[in-house]
């Protein structure tokens, strides 16, 4: 049994599940929220007039870090930089695949310095860094399913960055247009549950996408999990999966039950303070595919 908030969820795969769930090794990059606060507004979640609690953010982030380590996920850390309160959202720092790091170029000046900071970290670890020509916000808008990169646009990453990513990685890139400003990055409305791919390998919020994108998602993932508006509104889709274990917002209870019913093991964490900046589990997690 798995605890989701105050409820127990049966997380054992049913005999009629299409396939057993298997964990695969993961390595991720995270950044401690030492300087986290909400001092400007660049998304609908941010309200600078409402005080934030940096100590609480640190404690909640620490629980996420401990959860990853307990699950056997290898965690690398980048040093936080004073004056960059959103650096904790490491997923936006770039997109790493096949030993190549496609660096970020942020849309808003408040986050602009994060791009070079993450690029320098990648370079120091021996990755080949590709400096972008177009606005993109890293793994916030680029998610890998099988051999295909799904790429978000509409609020942050420019469509031209999709073509650039296709050239850099020589992979199929599928554009998806976001239409709800509350879900301004792809990873707030679309979650990869099984990176191997397949018709049931993702979850998403249909109304976050335009009609053409919804049709594409339905075609490629006919058995996807569709989350409720309530679970999406606590960034439940902003989760991280190793193929079996799914670390998910503790208030996304219906989504967690749906995951358990499909044989996944949900692990609930509370990142309510970091949600004030518009980020959740996945926002704090950049996958390193070396």
Catalytic annotation present for 283: yes
Yes or no: say if 235 and 280 are a contact pair by the CB < 8 Å rule.
yes
Q: DSSP string of 274-287?
A: HHTTT--TGGG-EE
Yes or no: say if 227 and 204 are a contact pair by the CB < 8 Å rule.
yes
Write down the catalytic residue from 162, 185, 239, 267. 185
What CA–CA distance (Å, rounded) separates 181 from 161? 20
Beta bridge partners of 78: 31
What CA–CA distance (Å, rounded) separates 221 from 200? 6
Write down the catalytic residue from 31, 239, 283, 284. 283
The burial class, CB within 10 Å (0-12 / 13-18 / 19+), for 233 is middle
Distance from the Cα of residue 210 to its chain's centroid? 20
Beta bridge partners of 130: 102
Going from the C-alpha of 62 to that of each of 54, 59, 269, the distances in angstroms are: 12, 5, 10
What CA–CA distance (Å, rounded) separates 171 from 12? 35
DSSP letter for 185, please.
S
Yes or no: say if 149 and 136 are a contact pair by the CB < 8 Å rule.
no
CB atoms within 10 A of CB 3: 14
Catalytic annotation present for 185: yes
Q: Which residues are catalytic?
A: 185, 283
């Amino acid at each position: 049994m798995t605890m989701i908030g105050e409820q127990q969820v049966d997380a054992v795969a049913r005999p009629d599940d299409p396939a057993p769930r298997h964990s695969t090794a993961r390595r991720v990059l995270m950044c401690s929220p030492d300087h986290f606060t909400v001092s400007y507004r660049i998304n609908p979640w941010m309200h600078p007039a409402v005080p934030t609690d940096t100590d609480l953010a640190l404690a909640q982030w620490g629980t996420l870090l401990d959860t990853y380590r307990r699950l056997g996920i290898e965690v690398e850390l980048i040093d936080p930089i004073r004056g960059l309160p959103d650096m904790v959202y490491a997923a936006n720092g770039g997109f790493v695949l096949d030993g190549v790091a496609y660096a970020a170029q942020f849309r808003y000046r408040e986050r602009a310095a994060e791009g070079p900071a993450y690029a320098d970290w990648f370079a120091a670890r021996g990755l080949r860094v590709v400096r972008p020509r177009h606005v993109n916000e890293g793994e916030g808008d680029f998610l890998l399913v099988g051999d295909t990169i799904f790429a978000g646009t509409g609020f942050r990453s420019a469509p031209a960055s999709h073509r650039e990513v296709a050239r850099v990685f020589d992979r199929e890139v599928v554009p998806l247009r976001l239409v709800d400003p509350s879900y301004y990055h792809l990873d707030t409305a679309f979650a990869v549950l099984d990176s191997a791919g397949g018709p049931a390998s993702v979850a998403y919020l249909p109304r976050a996408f335009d009609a053409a994108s919804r049709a594409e998602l339905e075609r490629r993932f006919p058995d996807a999990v569709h989350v409720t508006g309530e679970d999406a509104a606590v960034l439940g889709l902003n989760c991280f999966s190793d193929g079996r274990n799914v670390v998910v917002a503790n208030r996304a209870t219906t989504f967690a039950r749906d995951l358990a019913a499909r044989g996944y093991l949900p692990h609930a964490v509370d990142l309510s303070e970091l949600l004030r900046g518009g980020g959740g589990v996945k926002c704090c997690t950049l996958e390193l595919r070396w």
